[in-house]
Structure formats: C-alpha cells, structure tokens
A and B are shown apart, each in its own frame.
Chain A
Amino acid sequence: MQKMAQKLVLPFIFFSVFESAFALDSGTQSLGELDGATDYFKITCAGNTDHLDFQLFESAATVLNTPLAKPTLIPPQILNATLTKLKLTAKASGIAAGINKDVTLKGGNGSYTFTLDTIGTNLTLKTAQTYSVQYQCLNTTGKVTVGSSTLTKSGIASISKTLANSRTVKYLFNCAKDKINGNTDSLKITVINKTPIAKTVVTTTVTTDPIAAPISSGNLAAQVIKGHVAMNTIGDILNVHDDRSGGDGYYSVMVNSPSNKVQSYHFQYSCLNTSNLEEQTSPFQLLQDQ
C-alpha cells in the first residue's frame, strides 16, 4: 500500500528518556486488502551491531506513546483593578505578573471601593497570584491629603496578599480634607503584581506524529529474520540476535495480517551493540509494499 512516511527520529530524545536506547529509525506504512498482503523490508546494521531491536505499533489510534514537546508561550496570570465611587469608575486591566499599574479616580472626598479580580487570567496556572497595594489621596495639585484604609497606611505598600483564580476581593478607602493640602480630588491606587513570572515557556503538546500504542490484538504480525534466526511479534519488542553470523548485515522484516485486515502501522528499530548503545542504523529499504 502507499508508503506514508519514513523518517529519522531524533536519537537524543530517546537517549534522554531511556538508558537503553531504542528506535533510532522508524517507518509508517499501510497494509492493503490483498489476500496474503505482506510488506517486506530490509534493514541494514553496521558497525559493531550485536542485535536489532524491533517493535510494531498499530497506527489506527491517535494515542501517542511519545508525545513531542512543542514550544508554546504560556499566557500570563493577570489581575484587574476597579475603583468605584458612586457612579464613577476607573479601571486598570491585565496587570500581569511582575507588573505595576496605577488606577486613579477623581471622586473627591469620601469612600471608594477598590476591587481586584482575575478575569482573563491563565487558568492553567493554578498558583494564586500575589499582590500588594499602595494608595494616596491627592488634591488637585497632586499633594497628599488625608486617607485611611484597613489594608495599609497611606503611601505605604501593603503586606503581600494572595488572590486565587476566579476570586474577587474588595477593599474600602476613605479620603478626606487635609488641614494643609485641602480637599481630596482623586484617589490613586498602585497595584503591584508580585506573582512570579512563569518560568516554563514550553507546554507538552500532543502532535500528529504517527507513533501509536503497541498492538497486541493479533491483527498484525511482523517477522524479523537474520541468518538462521527468525522471530515474530504482534507488539512486543523483538531482540533479534544472530550468534552465528553476527549482528551486522541485513535483517529481513515482513508485516502481514492473519485476518487480511487493512491496517496502517508504525514500526521502530535500532541496531544496538552489546551494551545496548546505538550502532550504525540505516533507513529501511522497502522491497515490497502491498
């Protein structure tokens, strides 16, 4: 059937995951409906190859046994600040981790309501955000007037607070006439988002790589022959070792279906030395594609 792909799988990925390296090379094929259909390959091993590891996978599912990491920037966690007094409102949105933003409302003397929420934050990051608030009541020339709050004193950053995703918190601030600087014109609040910036900028993404789960249904079988050694698999890893003629040379591989099932499949193989380290593994040669 039609050859779908033949590719090299980066060996270092597997070396980093498995001490015993496996699957330097791989291929994806489809077995057709011909009665007795058999795909036939040759694999060449060189160097100091002791044996060939071979594994067959059914490719019908998109389940991956080796998800590949795909770089993706993680959206930041954010806070939104809203300051209200009667019908007056001022907002500062999208205050990301490590960012300071001011929100100022010209409401004169009196009580202000300050609200923090996390609408629009990255919900995949579960850690509560940490913030601090600093405020000042100001007159029309920007001079400090009298202010009070249970959160902190005027002009002094509050102790650090936390706010979990999807939660909202409210604080009250009062501004009054100052003996020296006169009436309050506005309340200025600085929000300091102290949340650590996410260090992980890579998420693991399931890709369309054809690697799938090993089969055990018996719908497909593969035979590997080297010299006088012949082995069969329906999904388990084969370790084909020919102690008469050695590990170098040609390995014949056949894939077929005892039920004549039309089936795509994937296989991985690796030429390994006696220490299970990679030797010279070449791309497979397709001799027959049925």
Chain B
Amino acid sequence: MKHFIFLMLAGLSFNTFAHTQSGVLAVPVSTVDYYYVDCGSDPSSVSLYFHIASSAAAGMPLVSAQVIKDNYASNFTDPINGDAGWSRDQVIYGGNGLYSISVNKNGAGVVSYSFEAHCYDSSGEHTDSENIIQVN
C-alpha cells in the first residue's frame, strides 16, 4: 500500500513538475533574477538537471545562469539569442535541498529567458520536488 501511494505520487509528479520558469531581465546590467529550486521536499532527490535559453534578439546581451549549491557553482550561457537551442545542460549532483539559481546578462538591455530545472534521484528518476521559488 505504501509503495502504491508512492508510485501514484511519483506518477503525478512526472506529469505535474516538468518545470520551466520564464522571466525578463530589465535594462541595467546589474539586474539579476534570483530563484530557489527546492529539491528537498522529496528526500530521494540527489541532483538537479538545468539548462537555460534566451529569446532575445540577435545582438542583445547573452543570458547566463548560475546554479549554486553549498560550495559549488556553475555557469550556463545560451550562446545564441533567439534560436531554438539551449545552453549546455548538466546534472548537478548537489544532494538534497535548495539549489540557488541566478540569471544575469553581459550587457545592458531587456532580455527574456526561460530555464528548465528538474530534480532527480540516485537512479536518474525524476522526483516530485523542484518547486521553483522566485526570490527577487
């Protein structure tokens, strides 16, 4: 019964938590959008999958994101604005808990973006975590 409930929740989470977050960075180069991705609500979560894409026009600043967990940080940049491609993607094995995401750009101008973040367990299965919290 216990396993059945877990599988039901797991199946629900697969359908519900395909998390994509969109945002718009304002003109100043100092602007950063800051998020938490919660991989802690499911104790089995051990990693976070992440990538980001910019929908800005060519010639606009490049959009980057930094994923931070404890003493680890990594940068993700979409090298081409406005195309269908994403930044590199990476599974970050930072363990259970909150992952911080900061989104910045390398110049002044309004740019829009979206990123995907998914929490996984040790066997590579999607967990029912990854609630995205916008900090600022």
Distance A38 CA – B76 CA, assembled complex (angstroms): 10
Using CB atoms and an 8 Å cutoff, list the residues of chain B in contact with chain A: 29-34, 61-62, 64, 66, 68, 71-77, 79, 88, 90, 100, 102, 104-107, 135-136
For chain A, the count of residues having a C-beta within 8 Å of the partner chain is: 28
Distance A221 CA – B100 CA, assembled complex (angstroms): 18
Distance A229 CA – B136 CA, assembled complex (angstroms): 7
Contact between B136 and A228 (Cβ–Cβ < 8 Å)?
yes
Judge whether A252 is part of the interface by a CB distance below 8 angstroms.
yes
Assuming the contacts A225-B34, A233-B29, asked whether A36 and B90 have C-beta atoms less than 8 A apart, the reply is yes
Distance A233 CA – B104 CA, assembled complex (angstroms): 9
Chain A positions within 8 Å of B71 at CB level? 40, 287-288
Distance A36 CA – B64 CA, assembled complex (angstroms): 10
Q: Is the interface of A mostly helix, strand, loop or mixed?
A: strand
19 new A-B pairs (CB below 8 Å) besides A223-B32, A257-B75? A37-B75, A38-B66, A38-B74, A40-B72, A218-B62, A218-B107, A219-B106, A221-B106, A223-B66, A225-B100, A225-B102, A229-B136, A231-B30, A231-B31, A238-B30, A256-B64, A258-B62, A259-B77, A287-B73
Judge whether A163 is part of the interface by a CB distance below 8 angstroms.
no
Q: Is the interface of B mostly helix, strand, loop or mixed?
A: strand
Chain B positions within 8 Å of A223 at CB level? 32, 66, 102, 104
Distance A232 CA – B76 CA, assembled complex (angstroms): 15
CB distance from B60 to the nearest CB of A (A): 11
Distance A219 CA – B77 CA, assembled complex (angstroms): 12
Judge whether A33 is part of the interface by a CB distance below 8 angstroms.
no
CB distance from A13 to the nearest CB of B (A): 27
Chain B positions within 8 Å of A38 at CB level? 66, 73-75
Judge whether A230 is part of the interface by a CB distance below 8 angstroms.
yes
Contact between B29 and A234 (Cβ–Cβ < 8 Å)?
yes
Residue of A nearest to B88 (CB): A35
Distance A236 CA – B107 CA, assembled complex (angstroms): 11
Interface residues of A in 61-116 (CB under 8 A from B): none
Distance A282 CA – B105 CA, assembled complex (angstroms): 29
Judge whether A46 is part of the interface by a CB distance below 8 angstroms.
no
Contact between B73 and A288 (Cβ–Cβ < 8 Å)?
yes
CB distance from A226 to the nearest CB of B (A): 11
Residue of B nearest to A37 (CB): B75
**Residue-wise interface mask of A (202-234) relative to B, using a CB-CB cutoff of 8 A (1 in contact, 0 not):** 000000000000000011010101001111111
Judge whether A254 is part of the interface by a CB distance below 8 angstroms.
yes
Distance A194 CA – B103 CA, assembled complex (angstroms): 69
Which of A219, A221, A234 has the most chain B CB atoms inside 10 A of its CB?
Answer: A221
Contact between B135 and A228 (Cβ–Cβ < 8 Å)?
yes
Chain B positions within 8 Å of A37 at CB level? 75
Residue of A nearest to B34 (CB): A230
Distance A142 CA – B76 CA, assembled complex (angstroms): 93
- What would be 26 A-B contacts, judged by CB atoms less than 8 Å apart? A36-B74, A36-B75, A37-B75, A38-B73, A38-B75, A218-B61, A218-B62, A218-B107, A221-B104, A223-B32, A225-B34, A225-B68, A225-B102, A229-B136, A230-B102, A231-B30, A231-B32, A232-B29, A232-B30, A233-B30, A236-B30, A254-B73, A254-B75, A258-B77, A259-B62, A288-B71
Assuming the contacts A36-B90, A38-B66, A221-B64, asked whether A230 and B73 have C-beta atoms less than 8 A apart, the reply is no
Which of B66, B68, B75, B106 is close to A234, meaning CB atoms less than 8 Å apart? B106
Chain A positions within 8 Å of B136 at CB level? 228-230
Distance A228 CA – B76 CA, assembled complex (angstroms): 21
Assuming the contacts A228-B34, A230-B102, A231-B30, asked whether A256 and B75 have C-beta atoms less than 8 A apart, the reply is yes
Distance A287 CA – B74 CA, assembled complex (angstroms): 12
Chain A positions within 8 Å of B88 at CB level? 35-36
